[in-house]
Chains A and B, each alone.
Chain A
Amino acid sequence: KQEVTQIPAALSVPEGENLVLNCSFTDSAIYNLQWFRQDPGKGLTSLLLIQSSQREQTSGRLNASLDKSSGRSTLYIAASQPGDSATYLCAVRDDKIIFGKGTRLHILP
């Protein structure tokens, strides 16, 4: 049974710092992995989608990596800004779609 874990559950970082969010999964037979952002009281916004054959994807200050063999993905955020404060969720697709519980990120001005 696939399990998706995100550590830490919450993170506070001073503005301007680079940071890494972690996502781990137990079964490496996945189709893809997607990172989302959720603002309080809002829906999800897709950030990056990594196919199972890819190692990383980049969008602006965001870079997501995927290591299927170790069951890990990281989301790297460069030069963090207060507007990056949100909950970040990862989700894997195998024969189901399984979400992690998210990391609540707070960027301190």
Chain B
Amino acid sequence: DTAVSQTPKYLVTQMGNDKSIKCEQNLGHDTMYWYKQDSKKFLKIMFSYNNKELIINETVPNRFSPKSPDKAHLNLHINSLELGDSAVYFCASSQEPWTSVSEQFFGPGTRLTVL
């Protein structure tokens, strides 16, 4: 029973394409996140949703658009993919929003390679 799941695990695509990564959590949490881990393994938050509302939006190109159909799902859509978008993208969830003392649970990651 995977707590936080992501699909696909690997994604290889050409520059200029549009792609989506899906995330689902079965923990009943109210808050979900997207992180990007670059080639140097540096992890940085991109977005956070609480009860389907966007509460964190870091400095991310507007080619990246998160979508939360319900509080158990937070998908990441990327338009016009660029070489620099190649990274591992992690989804995470927590019971409380980022301002509270709530543990985060991470998905296994999606390795995106843009050719």
The 8 Å CB contact of B107, one of A43, A46, A51, A93, is: A43
| Interface assignment of B64: CB less than 8 Å from any CB of chain A | no
| Interface assignment of A45: CB less than 8 Å from any CB of chain B | yes
How far is it, in angstroms, between the C-alpha of A52 and the C-alpha of B102 when the chains are bound?
Answer: 12
Interface size class of B (residues with CB under 8 A): 20 to 34
Instruction: State the interface size on chain A (CB cutoff 8 A).
Output: 22
Subset of 18 A-B contacts with CB under 8 Å: A31-B100, A31-B101, A34-B103, A42-B109, A43-B4, A43-B90, A44-B90, A44-B104, A44-B106, A46-B104, A49-B103, A52-B101, A93-B98, A95-B99, A97-B45, A97-B98, A99-B44, A101-B41
A residues neighboring B (CB under 8 Å) = 31-32, 34, 36, 42-46, 49, 51-52, 87, 89, 91, 93, 95-97, 99, 101-102
B residues neighboring A (CB under 8 Å) = 4, 33, 40-45, 56, 58, 90, 92, 98-101, 103-109
